[in-house]
């Protein structure tokens, strides 16, 4: 097959889905990433970015479609420069999305984490496939319209509807089609009517604070994390990157002591309100890599829910130095998770289980819970 060059058309058979949303094919041994393609398809593409080890291509024609290909529901979905970049996989049947995400987690751990046979469970599906997001970040066009960024672009695509945001946010969007936000480039909007969660618990979440976006799966996420921590009444548990206290609120009734660490001041204020009824909880404001080595208490287990960048080497080294027996990592990026796991596996830890959860249907994003146990030296 001819070697790819920019603006050169190729006919490819695609083999797999990759983290980032594109399908993978090969031409003359070079990896070609095709946005909008599906494994098993024969497609015609135009190479738009050609690098030494890989190329990115634009889908021109699907010659042989895969059975998993479906018609996207949203009129704003697509891969043109004017299309919305919020969703990546509306053209894929949902059952296939789940298979691809489970396979991607396994592949990332094998390739980046050098874990030959990672114990990855089948992904937990979302009970809500549409209207599931309780939070959205809209961008503002120069003429005052709201929209989302196009894929791999700073161009704002104006939209009048979004099929994955909750109905209350859709109503707000429709009422704000022409807005006067002088100097504003981005608006963060969260539904204020979040349902009560496990045990009928309500949470305060300030506009600047992080909270899980898929309301329908928050209970499942909390249940999974608590089960994997294997809590006992005498435990002292670290909740790192604790945010507004989502996990701490349900850990606290089951253990002797909870220590929350978080760098966001707004989340600190929310945490204080959400955990006000518990005397066995303490909070440290600051960066985890700086504060974890200074905490005097013995830690029986630790929970980490870092941002997309992952925990990073300094945090993992602090975990290793403290000899924490059980570690649970909630990750939204399998690539940085693979890096962090590799560092722990090299230093007396065993990977017990990896459980993906589909918090983000119709996108390539994947939430994953990893469980590690420290071996006796």
Enzyme catalytic residues: 332
Which residue's entry shows tokens 């936000």?
181
Which helix (H) or strand (E) covers residue 221, if one does? helix 218-229
With a CB cutoff of 8 Å and minimum separation 6, the contacts of 154 are none
Q: Helix, strand, coil: what percent of the chain each, to 5?
A: 25, 30, 45
Grouping H, G, I as helix, E, B as strand and the rest as coil, residue 337 is helix
Reading the block at residue 234, the tokens are: 């005498």
**Residues constituting the chain:** 377
Number of alpha carbons in the 13 Å side-chain half-sphere of residue 19: 20
Using DSSP's 3-state secondary structure scheme, residue 26 falls into strand
Which CA distances in Å does 22 have to 34, 132, 295? Answer: 5, 23, 43
Enclosing H/E stretch for 44: strand 42-50
Cα(164)–Cα(294) distance, integer angstroms = 42
The tokens describing 123, both together, are 């992904």
Q: Are 327 and 304 in contact (CB under 8 A)?
A: yes
CB 337 within 8 A of CB 312: no
Structure tokens at 226: 């608590």
Extract the tokens encoding 58. 């634009």
């Amino acid at each position: 097959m001819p070697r790819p060059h920019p603006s050169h058309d190729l006919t490819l058979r695609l083999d797999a889905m990759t983290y980032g949303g594109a399908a993978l094919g090969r031409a003359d041994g070079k990896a070609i990433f095709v946005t909008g393609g599906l494994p098993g398809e024969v497609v015609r593409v135009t190479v738009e970015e050609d690098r030494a080890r890989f190329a990115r291509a634009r889908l021109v024609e699907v010659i042989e479609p895969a059975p998993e290909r479906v018609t996207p529901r949203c009129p704003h979905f697509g891969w043109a420069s004017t299309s919305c970049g919020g969703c990546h996989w509306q053209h894929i049947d949902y059952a296939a999305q789940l298979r691809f995400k489970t396979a991607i987690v396994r592949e990332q751990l094998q390739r980046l984490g050098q874990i030959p046979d990672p114990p990855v469970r089948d992904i937990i599906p979302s009970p809500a496939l549409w209207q599931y997001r309780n939070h959205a970040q809209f961008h503002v066009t120069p003429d005052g319209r709201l929209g989302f960024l196009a894929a791999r672009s700073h161009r704002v695509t104006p939209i009048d509807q979004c099929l994955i945001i909750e109905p209350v946010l859709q109503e707000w969007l429709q009422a704000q089609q022409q807005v006067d936000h002088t100097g504003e480039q981005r608006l963060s909007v969260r539904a204020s009517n979040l349902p009560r969660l496990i045990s009928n618990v309500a949470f305060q979440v300030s506009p600047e604070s992080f909270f899980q976006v898929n309301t329908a799966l928050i209970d499942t996420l909390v249940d999974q994390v608590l089960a994997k921590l294997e809590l006992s009444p005498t435990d002292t548990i670290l909740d790192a990157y604790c945010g507004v206290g989502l996990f701490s609120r349900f850990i606290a009734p089951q253990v002797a002591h909870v220590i929350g660490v978080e760098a966001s001041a707004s989340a600190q204020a929310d945490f204080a309100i959400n955990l006000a009824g518990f005397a066995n909880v303490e909070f440290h404001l600051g960066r985890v890599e700086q504060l974890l080595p200074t905490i005097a208490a013995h830690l029986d287990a630790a929970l980490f829910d870092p941002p997309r960048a992952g925990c990073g080497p300094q945090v993992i080294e602090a975990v290793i130095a403290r000899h924490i027996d059980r570690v649970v990592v909630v990750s939204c990026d399998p690539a940085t998770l693979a890096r962090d796991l590799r560092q722990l596996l090299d230093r007396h830890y065993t990977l017990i289980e990896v459980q993906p959860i589909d918090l983000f249907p119709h996108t390539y994003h994947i939430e994953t819970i990893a469980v590690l146990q420290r071996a006796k030296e």
